[in-house]
Each structure stands twice: as structure tokens, then as C-alpha cells.
Amino acid sequence: MQNSLDSGLSLALRKMERRTPLRPEARKAFMSLHVHRRTFDTQREMVREGDSNGHCLFLESGVVSMSKMLPNGGRQIVAFHVAGDLLGLGSALLLIADHSLRAHVPTAVLSIDDGDILRLAEDYPDIGRAFWFETLVDASIFREWNLNIGRRGARERLAHLVLEIGYKSEAAGLDQKENFACPITQADLADALGLTPVHVNRCMQWLRTEGFLETCGRRIVIPDWGALADFASFRPLYMHPEGPRVLTAERSIRSHA
Amino acid sequence: MQNSLDSGLSLALRKMERRTPLRPEARKAFMSLHVHRRTFDTQREMVREGDSNGHCLFLESGVVSMSKMLPNGGRQIVAFHVAGDLLGLGSALLLIADHSLRAHVPTAVLSIDDGDILRLAEDYPDIGRAFWFETLVDASIFREWNLNIGRRGARERLAHLVLEIGYKSEAAGLDQKENFACPITQADLADALGLTPVHVNRCMQWLRTEGFLETCGRRIVIPDWGALADFASFRPLYMHPEGPRVLTAERSIRSHA
DNA sequence: CGAAGTTTTGAGGACCTTCAAAAGTTGTGG
DNA sequence: CCACAACTTTTGAAGGTCCTCAAAACTTCG
């Protein structure tokens, strides 16, 4: 069993190291994390708003959304995650989950104890920095969603989300960004965009008739990436693919005391 | 000069320590940070989207907004900050600013070199954890804004923002949450809420006629906090006033190698 | 093959926007 | 201290985007 779990962790490590190279000791410590695999069916809630935290989740395969609810029943999806993502890094330090996590397809996660994550970040500063960076990127994506929901028209808004999902799928090594699986229903897209399912459907049709995209089954094809990116003013900088600042070699100058 | 700068830093420290107590060495290292004071007039841009980062800012006094622009001129304010807040912690690790910062009243900040922040986080794990926690809270607030903009009606949305500003003012020790300075124009509120200034004005009038709030000059009074919080489904949990998880004493169990 | 879920269609209406201008407030310099 | 300019808030009217409700067509899955 430990072997198959290892292979899952190494995916997380590979993804993290694409941005932040780690020192060998840190890599070894990461790989020796004690993990527990769990699987979830489609539409299954993995974490519920208000739960007390306890575990970080590494998404091995599948698609997961993070959402918040209103007392009147309104739901807002605030993020989508694909294989390779670290979910709920927040739970390492935040005591109570302020959001829910839901699987959109059959999904496998590796569950890691919060305390282990925290100790890892404390003992290995480069891992701590990598976690902090991931959190900063998440925050930046949330800001872009604010802009998207607050200030773009419905068609641009939908287009922007579709481009983001394609971009992330390619970055995760799952698909090409111009042709990718998108197993998210229009109702869920609506919840992510602050729109109604009916209106998402009409916007989707409009994007198709304009030739901006094609759908076949649960797959999306974007014939001219540049044209759609231009239409939606999509610039992937907000996902910070350039990676974090690297600390310069001169670590000696320590203090000003 | 160093003395007055010290008093600014100690405000930051006090605010951070309200959540995360630091060890004496860490506190001392924090206080010996090399800082540089800068002041900005009303409506002055402090950081522009696309700038390369270099400095974190500690907000000593004033009000600052973080915003993002669309090519068509649309602006979305994604956060407001008050005295005591650490702005642009992100710039420690993110190379390029994906947002602008603007002063809304005459404002003073202490500017700290990114590298110093990074080294501090690396050398003192408790400071690193405090920075990470601040970033997690910021991310949580962005999520709540997604929900606010995406799923609440205009009046609830405005009410929610007003409550957040009041709550933060009290938490920062500047005012009472039921009676606080709000030097933000309706046009800027509109940019934060994804609405037009005209509609913000009408919502404001409605909130007043319903008795939910009163305005006098640039001050807001909330006669019945509970009633307005209920109307806007405002629950401050998303700002995580409970503070971060504290690491248990047994630090010895290190690895599973 | 039937059941459940998802996408599509239609019609009417609400919420919020746009544009334009007046009234009120704040700040500045003579 | 007043006068004036600049900014902010307020008002009105008309229109568009997006919503609500409801039902039909299509797809997926057991």
C-alpha cells in the first residue's frame, strides 16, 4: 500500500518543485509524510462549511470545487481544483473550515494530518516557503475571480473561467489547453460565476455561434486561444506561473540588532 | 528618526501578536527590521498593477484599497486595509504585482525590503507561520467577497461591506464597530461591490430609510448591529478572529523515515 | 430500457445600468 | 472669511442584462 501512496505524493512533489526546487532533505521529509488515501463519488461533499479542520488534502485525481453557502440557499463556488493541487492548506492553521469541498467526478485524495504539515513547514523552511507561495497564488486567483464576477459581462465571465480551467489542465499535465476535459455542469459553472444556469446556457451558445469554442460531450475545444483570451481579457499572470522569488545566496547577513 | 519608526513597527507587532504570540528572539528580530516611512496623499497610487515587487508595506495610518483593472477601464476593488494591516505580504514571494494599491485618505506606511521579510520568515518559524496565517486570512476574505459579489443582492452586498469595515475598524482599535469613520466614496464602494455609483446611492438610501444605518459626514452609525448582520448574513468567522492553530508542545516526533 | 440528471427553449419581469443634470459638500486661495 | 472650483451625493427616466418559472429535448447511467 505504501508504494501506491508514494506515487501519489511524488505527483504533489513534482508539481511543487516545478515552481520551488527543494533541498534533498526537504524532499525526503515530504515523501515520508504519513498519508491516507480516500476516494469520493461524484457530487459527494468531502468537507462541509463549519467543520473543524484536521487534514490537508492532496488531490491525486479528479475535480473538486470549493464553495460557500448563504442562509437562503444560494451557493457560490469560489475555486476549482484539478489533480496535483493541494487543497485546504488553510486547514493547517485555520481551525474551522469556512467553505465546503465537493467532488465533481470520482476523485481520490491523499489526506495528511494538519500537525504534520505544520511541522514540515517549520522544520524545512523551503517547504514552508513553498506552502506560503501556494497560498499566495490561491489568494491571487481569488482576487481575479472578484474582478471576473464583479466587473465582466456574463459572456466574458464564462469565457474567462473556461480559459482558466483549460490553462490549469495543461499546467497540471492532464490535457492541452485548447482541448480539455471539463466535467462541470452548467449549473455548477453558474454557481461559480454568480449567474443562473439558464443564462450560462445562453452565454455558452453565444460563444459557440461566435466560433469561440466547441463542446463535444464533456470536452471543450478552443479553436483560437488568442481570440478568446483577448475577448475575455485573460492574462494568466494572476496564476503566477513564473514561480516564487528565489532567495539570493548571501544568507549570512542576518540581523540589524 | 529610528524611534518614531519603532513605534510604527510595534503597532504591527502588537496586531500580529494578538493572534500569534512570538518568542522573544523573534519579537526582537521583528523590531530590528530596517524600515523606511513613506506618506501618500488622498487618491494617490502607491503600487501599480504590473510593477515589479520589492517592498512589503505596513500600514501605519490611513485607508488603502487594493484593486485590479480591466482593459476597458473597469475597476474592481478587491480589498480595503486599515491601520495595522500588512499590505502586499505577497510581494515577498510574487515577483510582479497583480494589483494596484491606492490611498483613500492621507496615509503613512512603513516600507520593508522583501528580502528582509523572507529572511525573517525563514530564520524564525513562528514569524513565518504568522505571515502564512495572515495570507490565509486574506484568502478567506477574498472568498467571502466572491460570495458577496456573486450571490447577494445589492442591498445585502453593501450592508455586508459596511459591516466588514466597521468590524475591522474595531478590531484595529480605531473605532467602535457601531460607529466608525468610513472615508470611502460611494463611487469606490461601487467599485468594490461590482455595482454602479448610482445604485450604491439608492441602496444606501434604502438602508437608511429602513433604519439599518445612519450616516453623518464620513461616519457610519449602525443602531442595531445584530439586525443588520442578520439582514446581510454577516458572520465574522471568515476573518478568523479566533487566530491560528497553536502547535502542540510535543515537537519531538519529527519524521517517519 | 427506464430513470435521473443535464441542456435547451420560451415568455415575462425584476434588478441594476446608463445617461444626464441638479443639489449638496469639501477644500482652497484670495 | 467668503467665493469659487472640484468633488460627491442625489434625482429622474429609459433601457438592457440577467433572472424566474416552467416545460421540453437530450444525454448519461444503472
* pLDDT (tens digit per residue) in B152-170: 999 999 999 999 999 999 9
Pick from A93, A139, A151: which is nearest to B90 by CB? Answer: A139
Round to whole Å and give the CA distance between A151 and A36: 42
Of B58, B57, B78, B51, the closest CA to residue B67 belongs to: B78
- What pLDDT score does B246 carry? 79
What pLDDT was estimated at residue A154? Answer: 98
Residue B1: its pLDDT value, please?
A: 45
Query: Which of the 8 DSSP states describes residue A37?
Result: E
For residue B253, the model assigns a pLDDT of: 42
Contact A93 B150 (CB under 8 A): no
Asked if the Cβ–Cβ distance from B237 to A99 is below 8 Å, we say no
Query: Order of strands across the sheet with B107-113?
Result: B35-40, B107-113, B55-61, B86-87
**Interchain pair B194, A132: CB under 8 A:** no
Query: pLDDT of A87-107, one tens digit each?
Result: 989 888 998 999 999 999 999
Check the CA dihedral A21-A26-A31-A35 and report its sign: negative
- Return d(Cα B84, Cα B8) in angstroms, integer: 9
**Residue B167, phi-psi category: left (phi > 0), alpha (psi -120 to 50), beta (remainder):** alpha
So what's the pLDDT on residue B112? 93
Residue A249 has pLDDT above 70, yes or no: no
List chain B residues with pLDDT less than 50. Answer: 1-2, 249-257
Gap between the Cα atoms of B2 and A239, Å rounded: 38
Q: Using the CA of A182, give the nucleotide whose C1' is nearest.
A: C6
Q: Coil, strand or helix: which one is A169?
A: helix
With CB atoms and an 8 Å threshold, state whether B143 touches A98: yes
A133–B233 C-beta distance less than 8 A = no
Half-sphere exposure in the Cβ direction for A230 (13 Å, CA): 5
Instruction: Count CA within 13 A, CB hemisphere, residue A76.
Output: 24
Q: Determine how many CB atoms are found less than 10 A away from the CB of residue B211.
A: 11
Pairing of strands A219-221, A179-181: antiparallel
In terms of Cα–Cα distance, which of B168, B243, B169, B249 is closest to B18? B243
In angstroms, the separation between the Cα of residue B220 and the nearest Cα of chain A is 24
Task: Look up cell 494572476; give the residue.
Answer: A238
Model confidence at A7, pLDDT cuts 50, 70, 90, reads: low
Task: Give A172-182 pLDDT, tens digit per residue.
Answer: 999 999 999 99
Nearest to B118 among A90, A122, A247 (CB): A247
User: What is the residue whose three cell numbers read 495572515?
Assistant: B134
Residue of B33, B129, B146 with shortest CB distance to A142: B146
pLDDT for the residue numbered A188: 98
Closest CA to A84 of A3, A175, A185: A175
What CA–CA distance (Å, rounded) separates B113 from B133? 20
Residue type, B29: A
Question: How many Å apart are B219 CA and D3 C1'?
Answer: 28
pLDDT at A257 over 90: no
Asked if the Cβ–Cβ distance from B119 to A254 is below 8 Å, we say yes
Alpha-carbon distance values, B5 to A124, A174, A253, B10, B61 (Å): 32, 51, 22, 9, 13
Phi, psi torsion values for B204, nearest 5 degrees: -60, -45
Q: DSSP assignment, residue A243? A: -
**Which of B48, B124, B147 is the best mutation test for A, with the most CBs of A within 10 A?**
B147
Mean pLDDT over residues A59-80, rounded? 96
pLDDT at residue A1 tops 60 = no
Contact B101, B66 (CB under 8 A): yes
Q: Tell me the residue type at B168.
A: K
Cell numbers of B38, please? 513613506
CA dist A138 and A99 (Å) reads 14
pLDDT at res. A20: 79
DSSP-based three-state secondary structure for A160: helix
pLDDT at position A169 over 50: yes
The CA distance from B51 to the nearest CA of chain A, in Å, is 12
CA A144 to C1' C26 (Å) is 35
Helix or strand holding residue A205 (H, E): helix A197-209
Three-state SS for A74-122 is CEEEEEEEECCCEECHHHHCCCECCCEEEECCCEEEEEEEHHHHHHHHH
Closest residue by Cα to residue B118 from A136, A138, A238:
A136
- Find and list the nucleotides of strand D having atoms within 7 Å of a protein beta carbon: 7-13, 17-22, 27-28
Determine the average pLDDT of the residues in A136-150: 97
Least confident of A145-149, A198-202, A252-256, B103-107: A252-256
User: How many A×B Cβ pairs under 8 Å?
Assistant: 207
Backbone angles phi, psi at A108, to 5 degrees: -120, 135
Residues 145-174, chain B, CB closer than 7 Å to nucleic strand C: 153-155
- Between the CA of B161 and the C1' of C17, what is the distance in angstroms? 21
Place of cell 496564476: A239
3-state SS record for B101-140: EEECCCEEEEEEEHHHHHHHHHHCHHHHHHHHHHHHHHHH
Instruction: Note the pLDDT of residue A6.
Output: 66
DSSP structural state of residue A51: P
Q: pLDDT band for A11, please (50, 70, 90 cuts).
A: confident
The DSSP annotation for chain B comes to: -HHHHHHHHHHHHHHHHHHS---HHHHHHHHT--EEEEEE-TT-EEE-TTPBP-EEEEEEESEEEEEEE-TTS-EEEEEEEETT-EE-GGGGT-SB--SEEEESSSEEEEEEEHHHHHHHHHH-HHHHHHHHHHHHHHHHHHHHHHHHHHHS-HHHHHHHHHHHHHHHHHHTTSSBTTEEE----HHHHHHHHTS-HHHHHHHHHHHHHTTS-EEETTEEE-S-HHHHHHHTT--GGGG-TT-PPPPPS--------
Of chain A, the percentage scoring pLDDT greater than 70 comes to 93
DSSP strands (E only) in A131-196 = 179-181
Q: Going by C-beta distance under 8 Å and a sequence separation of 6 or more, which residues neighbour residue A124?
A: A22, A23, A25, A26, A29, A30
